[in-house]
Structures are given as structure tokens and as C-alpha cells.
Structure 1
Amino acid sequence: MLNTATLSLDQAPPISIPFRYFLTAPLFGLAAALMLLINGPDLFLTRWSPLTLGLTHMITLGMLAMVMCGALLQMLPVIAGSPVPGVVAVGTLCHILITLGTGLLIFAFLSGSVVGEAVALGMMGVGVIVFFVAVMIALWRVKHVSATIVAIRLAVVALLITLLFGVLLGSGILGSLGFGDIAALVDVHLGWGILGWIGLLLIGISYQVVPMFQVTPEYPPRLRRLLAPGLFVGLLIWTLLMLGAISGVVNGWVAEVAMFILICGFALYAGVTLRLQSQRKRRVPDITLLFWRTGMLFIPFCALIWIAGSVSPAIGNDPHYSLLLGVGLLLGVGVAVINGMLYKIVPFLSWFHLQNRQMRLMCMTVKVPNMKEFIPDKAARLQLYLFQAAMLLTLAATLFPAWFTHLAGLLFLASNALLMKNLLLSMQRYRQTNEALSAYAETTGASSAGAG
């Protein structure tokens, strides 16, 4: 059984706030799949093509950031006891701005519209800054600062740094300041986005959700205390070394050594997580565990790809190299883990909100579905297999685009369509039970606010 004794819903947002973020992510996944189907091998010619840039931001902003933002808005009051101020207004505004900004940014990449890019960056900038300020207020109000809170604080700062580099790159300001190596600057932008924002947030959240939902032992105390701050400081040092290398002040290999140390830190985290999963009390693997295990296995896989590209200039300069690394990080790690999170967080929130309302009403005549009943294992397992097949074919498409791109797009389309169906099914069952509780409240005259 889950230990919910330390969780609180007293100041949690309406469940519709995180759910709108969660439902938006598979929509962007469907759009990314359509890009694979329509544009085919053109997406894997070079990382710099407008199509590839559009697809990359569709996954990073439309899928990964969307789920992470929704999860944070719900998790802070429930797990940390610190609500985001004005969460309904903040959650609604940020969702609109980030969604529209992402869509407009992708349109700008594909059309070459300078005006569209400026408007998109403005919308994204306002959305991320509002989110940053609201979440940081909540984070600094936390009374008991755990390793999870420290990691989340650093991840949110990394999100702001990612935005800063993105805006500077999009506006051309860095070029006018003499930083002419755009490729290296894009690597810094990606480093903060993938390793900083997504990576640190994943680490912080996993300290809570892996032991809680996967019934594993706790992460080692020293790892929880030191890993996220060490990785954040490492990213800062790596960034300074990269800027120094661009300016000709520092040798490029020094920055690569710093990145190698960072990669070792993430590989250590993946190894510890896999070890904890092997020690779980519940021996039958569930869908969340399988998604997370996929992501954890891809971290060392991506580390080996990066090492190969750094050691061998022939590999590092091959256009397939960065595409393979990008697909491994974004799909193999990022999308795999957020799929796993959705299959546990959405049923858990549905059950937890309904159970709390049921107890307030003292209503035992309305049955609250258990977590397994919100999304059947069979449907979730089918989506896992579709996702894994799509991911492997997308990896193959980076090397042989003419052979595998369209099939990868078809399977990724099916995977996201089934994910959307499963989430909608969970939300429908939540709504039906909530309506039954409302009907009970009206019949008995009980006073209880709706669960959202």
C-alpha cells in the first residue's frame, strides 16, 4: 500500500490544473508523429534543419516541459505542503502561454518567420518567468527543505537559464557580443534544458516517487544530499568553460572533461535507481517501473554515445552522431520517464482526490476506484510496447532514415493516441465518481467542495 500519511491536499490546486498539462503532452506527441510521417527522412539530414529544430522543441517543450510543469504545480502543495500562490491563475496562464508559444515557435522554425519567432519567444518568456516566480515563492516557503526540494529549486533555476540562452540565441544577441560559435552555444542551451531542467527535476522527483510508487528502498542519504547540487555546480563550471573555449581563452578539451564528470554523475544516478528497482518489495513489475527502467538504461547508453563522439572525431563530426544522441536522450530517457510518471501520477491523483472527498462526506455508498481501475494494465502495457518499438525505430531512422522514419512515425502516432485514450479514460472515471459523490452530497445535504 502507498504511504499517504505525509501527503496533504488541503491547499492543492483543482485537479483540472495538472490534468490540462498532462493531456496537452500527448497532443504534441501526435503532432511530432505526424511530422515523422509527413516529412520522413528529411528530419534526419542534420540537427540544424528547421524541421529537426521544430521536432526537437515539440518534444522538449510540448511533451517533457508540459508534464514537468503540471506535476510541479500539483506536487508542491501535496508533498512539500507549500502551495503555488494563485495556482489557478498561474497554472491557467502558463499553460496557455507555453502551449501557444511552443506551437508558434515551431511554426516560426518551419516557416522562417522572424516575427513569429519574436512573438513565440515573448510568449514563452512570459510564461516561463511567471511559472518560475510562482514556483520559487512556493519553494522558498517550504519549512522542511529536503533533498527533493533542493533538486527542484535547482531545476527551476536551470529552466530560467535555458530560457535565457534560448532567447539570446533566437534574438542574435550572443552573436553581436562576439560569441560566434552558434553550435557550441546551442549545446549550452541544450545542456541546461536536458541535463539541468529535465535531469535535475527528474532526480528530485524520483527521490519521492520511486520509493513511494515502485516500493523500493530509499535512495542513499549521501546521494540525495550531494548529487543534485554537485550536478548544478558542474553545469555552471561546464558553461563557463564552454564560453571560455568559444572565446579562445580555454582549450575545448577542458570543457569536455567537465561534461564527462557530469555524465558520470547521471550514470551513477541511473545505476543506483536500477539497483533500488531490483530490490523492490513488490516483485511483479508494473508499467511505471518498466517505463522508468527503460529511461534508466538509456542514460548509460547515451553516455557511451557521447564518449564515442568525444574520443573519435570521425564519430563526433558525423551528422548521425548528434541525431542519435538527441533521440536517445529525448525519447529513450525523457519521454520514457514522463510516460511512466503519467501512468502513476494521474491514477494516484484521481484516487487521492476522490478518497479525500469521500472521507469528508463520510460516504461509503459510492465506491472510489482503486488505482489499477483508472487505467487497465493491459491498455498501458500495449502503449509501452508501442512506445518502445517507436523509440527503437526512431533510433534506427537516425542511421537509415529512408528505411525506418515512416514506420517510426506510425508507431509513435499509435503510442501517443493510446496514451491520450488511457489518460482520458482515467479522467472519465474520475469525473463519474466525483459526480456520484456530488449527487450523494445533494441528497444528504452534506457540505463538501468538488474535487475539481
Structure 2
Amino acid sequence: MSYFAAATAWLFGAEALMAAGFGFPSADLASPDTLVLVHMVSIGWLSTAMCGALLQFVPVLVSRPLFAENWALPALVLLTAGLIALLCGFLALGGHLPLWLWLLPLGACLLIAGFGLIAADVVLTVQSAKSLDASARFVLVGMASLCVTVALGATFASQLAGYGGAAIDSVLESGVPLHAIAGLGGWLTLTAMGVSYRLLAMFMLSPDVDERQSRVTLFVGALTLCVAVVGGLVAIEAASGLGAVLLWAGVFGLATIALYGRDVIELYRKRKRRQLELNTQMAAYGFLSLLVAAVLGAVLAATGSFAPYAGAFAFLIAFGWLSGLVLAKLHKIVAFLTWLEAYGPVMGRAPMPRVQELVVEARAKKWFGAYFAAVWVATALLLAGEGTLFRVAALAMAVATGGIIHEFVRTRRLTDVAEPLRLPNGVTEPCLLHAR
């Protein structure tokens, strides 16, 4: 729960900065101010939330206890401290702080330690299983992508701080797209895909996707990353340019999304729960955002105009697909974990509410609708080059996100549970920021 609380705080902060005109599109896509926003979203929000979800659900995926539960708190502290140091380094580059560029490699080292604890905990937990299902395999590939992402990021941080050599300079000059693909496409997207297989099956009472189908999806996704990262590094070393590598990575990426879409449609089609809960309804908007992003990327690449609109494409991936899916699933996850914490100890010994009685879906649905509408409008405004109006859309995103976070707080406080079921004998109100 602490991971989710920290993550949503970073999301709200990033949206508030965008509404204030900080970073892209008011500044260049590669500017230090934009790097602050990018890493607040990618590390502070998405990666922290994903780590929290993995620590909770990897044991469910492999039917084994977490290898080391006591690593969770130091990992969160390291991730938070590392991100703050990294952001301060970017602010120093942008002239907002004294030129303390040593903060960049310091932040990278702390992030390596934090992500290293998470990766080790997850991998060692998965390795203890007798057999691995599709979701667990996706998670392992996601962990490998995380390692690549962190390694490239640490390289860039060292170079920006003035500790790099000629070889590192060439990687920094051309390798940023590889860093983004490994992070957004590998670590975050493939891991989200893997976790979503299990969550959708659980929450919709649907049978798991056929093992052969999911393996093909994973294989093509892993091939996409290999083509992009390995092929990209080889191309940089050979000074041959990234054009052909990124083209093939885009083709395989589209194939991965198509195969994943087939799997998700099968889960929806075979579900036994005909009336979908809000988290699944809103996840569908995240899947729609992924589809639109795929079509947008293909059109931009085909017309030779991807570079000018790369920011809009990445924005839709980060806020429409990934953020939309994570927020939607958190609505259910927070309620489920809160129910387990509050009412699990008295199960069968006292009357208790259902999980769905901890939330008010009709009220939350308005906030989710406002969020997705604001994201889509903001993407359209980026494509149209309307920076001023984009700030209005970003403000709407921040307001909607604040509303969603308020729903999470109400869930943790059991505010919407009717008396006398709210606190029967033996039940205590959960702590807001962590589970007892």
C-alpha cells in the first residue's frame, strides 16, 4: 500500500507540473525540465506502482511466498531517494539548482540498488515455483528489460555528470530511444501485459489464455526488445544509424500488440462474470489507448513524421495505456487488499461486507471517465501543437487523478461501508499508507 500511495503522489505531482507549463511541450523533449517530468512518471509513478503490484501478486502467480518480504521497505526507500537525487540533478542541469551534477550518478546508484532488490526478490520467488505460467514468464522478461533500462539510464547519468568517455557519448547521442523502448515497451508494457492476464482472468472469472497463444505473444514481444536494444547498440557501434532497427522493432511491436489484443478479447469473450466491474470496464479504455497508440505510431512512421510527434505518441502510451490500466486495476486492488486486511481476520465470525461494498462505482466512474477524456484530448492537442490548451487538459487530468486518489482514500478508510458492517467486533480501521 505504501508503494501505491507514493506512486499516485508522483503521478499527481507530474500532472500538476504539466498544467503549470513545466517541461514538454513548453520545453524541448530532450530538455532537463522534460527529463524531470519523464522520470517522475516512468519511475515515480509507473515503476513504483508496478513494483508494488509485483510484490503483492508474484506470490499469487507462482503459488509461493515472497522470497524476502522484508526487502520491500528498503527497496522503496532506495527508489524514492534515488529518484529525488536524479530529479535534483536534472534541475541542476536546467539551472534551477546549483550545479551539483554528482547527484545524477548518485541517484542512478540508489535506483540500481532499489530496483536490484525488487528484481532479486521477484526472480528468486519465481524460480522457487515448480512450473511457470504465462504471466510469470512475462514478468521475467520484464525484469530483464528493467535491468537493461537501468543500465542504460545509469550510463546516461554518468555522461551527463561529465564522467563518460567517447564511447558513452555516442550511446547518449543516439541511444535514448533504446532506453525508452526498454523501459516503456519492455519493463512496463510486457510486465503490465503479464500481470493483466492473471488479473483479468481473476476479476472476470475467465479461464486462462491458451498457453501456446500466450507464449507466441511473449516470444514476439521479447524479439521486439532484442531487435530494438541489441540491434540498436550494434548499429550505434557500427555508426550505421537506427532507422532500419527501429523500423523492424516497430513491425514486431505492432505484431505483439495484435497478439496481445487477441488474447485479451478471448478473456473477455470467455468470461463467466457477464456484468463487468468498474476496474475491468476502465481497463478496456486503457487497451483502446494502446490500440490507438499503435495505429498512430504506424501512421507517423509511414508518413515519415514520427520524430516531430514522438512526444504525443509517448504521452498516449504513458498516460492512456499504462497509467489508465494501472489506475483501473488499483481501484480493485486497493479494495481487495483493504478487505483482506480489515475483514479477513474475522471471516466466518462476524457479518462483513462484500469487496464491492467498499467502493461506490458510480461515483468513481465519473472520475475515470474524466481522466481518459482529458488524456485523449491532451494527446490531440499535442498533435495539433496547441501547447497552451494542453495545459488546460493536463489540469483536467490532475483534477480527475485527484478524484481517483480520493476514492482510494475513502476505500482505505472504509468510508462507504454501511453500518453496522463497517467495524464489527474484532475489526479495526486499516492504516492509510501501509498494511498492518
Q: Please classify the TM superposition score into its range, dividing by the shorter chain length.
A: 0.7 to 0.9
- Unpaired runs of 5+ in structure 1? 1-18, 441-450
SS in 1 for 2:43: helix
Q: What is aligned with 2:432?
A: none
Higher relative contact order (CA 8 A, sep 6+): 1
Question: Could you tell me which of 12, 28, 32 is aligned with 1:46?
Answer: 28
Say yes or no: does 1:155 pair with 2:145.
no
Question: Could you tell me which of 248, 251, 256 is aligned with 1:257?
Answer: 248
| Distance 1:331-1:240 versus aligned 2 partners, 3 A rule | same
Question: Could you tell me which of 277, 281, 296 is aligned with 1:305?
Answer: 296
Q: What is aligned with 1:415?
A: 400
Give the counterpart letter for 1:244 in structure 2. Answer: V
Q: What is aligned with 1:125?
A: 112
Give the counterpart letter for 1:92 in structure 2. Answer: L
What CA distance in whole angstroms lies between the structure 2 residues aligned with 1:423 and 1:61?
A: 21
Say yes or no: does 1:328 pair with 2:316.
yes
Give the counterpart letter for 1:416 in structure 2. Answer: T
What CA distance in whole angstroms lies between the structure 1 residues aligned with 2:416 and 2:3?
A: 17
Q: How does 1:422-441 map to 2 (within 5 A)?
A: 422-429=407-414, 436=424, 438=426
Q: How does 1:173-188 map to 2 (within 5 A)?
A: 176-177=166-167, 180=170, 182=172, 184-188=174-178
What CA distance in whole angstroms lies between the structure 1 residues aligned with 2:422 and 2:84?
A: 33
Question: Could you tell me which of 311, 333, 343 is aligned with 2:331?
Answer: 343
Give the counterpart letter for 1:150 in structure 2. Answer: R
CA contact (8 A) 2:61 2:133 kept: no
Q: How does 1:14-163 map to 2 (within 5 A)?
A: 19-39=1-21, 43-87=25-69, 89-112=70-93, 113-163=100-150
What CA distance in whole angstroms lies between the structure 2 residues aligned with 1:275 and 1:386?
A: 28
What CA distance in whole angstroms lies between the structure 2 residues aligned with 1:425 and 1:337?
A: 20
| CA RMSD in angstroms, aligned pairs only | 2.7
Question: Could you tell me which of 364, 369, 372 is aligned with 2:356?
Answer: 372
SS in 1 for 2:30: coil
| Cα displacement string for residues 20-77 of structure 1 (whole angstroms, at most 9, x for unaligned residues) | 1111122112211220122268534431122221111111111111111111111122
Question: Could you tell me which of 200, 208, 227 is aligned with 1:210?
Answer: 200
Give the counterpart letter for 1:422 in structure 2. Answer: E
Superposition TM-score, scaled by structure 2 size: 0.87
SS in 1 for 2:21: helix
| Distance 1:380-1:183 versus aligned 2 partners, 3 A rule | farther
- Total equivalences in the alignment: 417
What CA distance in whole angstroms lies between the structure 2 residues aligned with 1:57 and 1:375?
A: 31
Q: How does 1:373-412 map to 2 (within 5 A)?
A: 373-398=357-382, 399-412=384-397
Q: What is aligned with 1:164?
A: 151
What CA distance in whole angstroms lies between the structure 2 residues aligned with 1:411 and 1:249?
A: 44
Superposition TM-score, scaled by structure 1 size: 0.84
CA contact (8 A) 1:44 1:401 kept: no
| Distance 1:114-1:215 versus aligned 2 partners, 3 A rule | same
What CA distance in whole angstroms lies between the structure 1 residues aligned with 2:243 and 2:275?
A: 46
What CA distance in whole angstroms lies between the structure 1 residues aligned with 2:84 and 2:258?
A: 33
Higher helix share: 1
SS in 2 for 1:363: coil
What CA distance in whole angstroms lies between the structure 1 residues aligned with 2:165 and 2:356?
A: 53
What CA distance in whole angstroms lies between the structure 2 residues aligned with 1:305 and 1:272?
A: 22
Identity of aligned residues (%): 21
SS in 2 for 1:43: coil
SS in 2 for 1:114: coil
Q: What is aligned with 2:431?
A: none
| Distance 1:246-1:175 versus aligned 2 partners, 3 A rule | farther
CA contact (8 A) 1:354 1:434 kept: no
| Cα displacement string for residues 222-245 of structure 1 (whole angstroms, at most 9, x for unaligned residues) | 222232243223312322221222
What CA distance in whole angstroms lies between the structure 2 residues aligned with 1:251 and 1:36?
A: 33
Q: CA deviation at 1:177?
A: 1.7
| Distance 1:317-1:152 versus aligned 2 partners, 3 A rule | closer
| Distance 1:193-1:175 versus aligned 2 partners, 3 A rule | farther
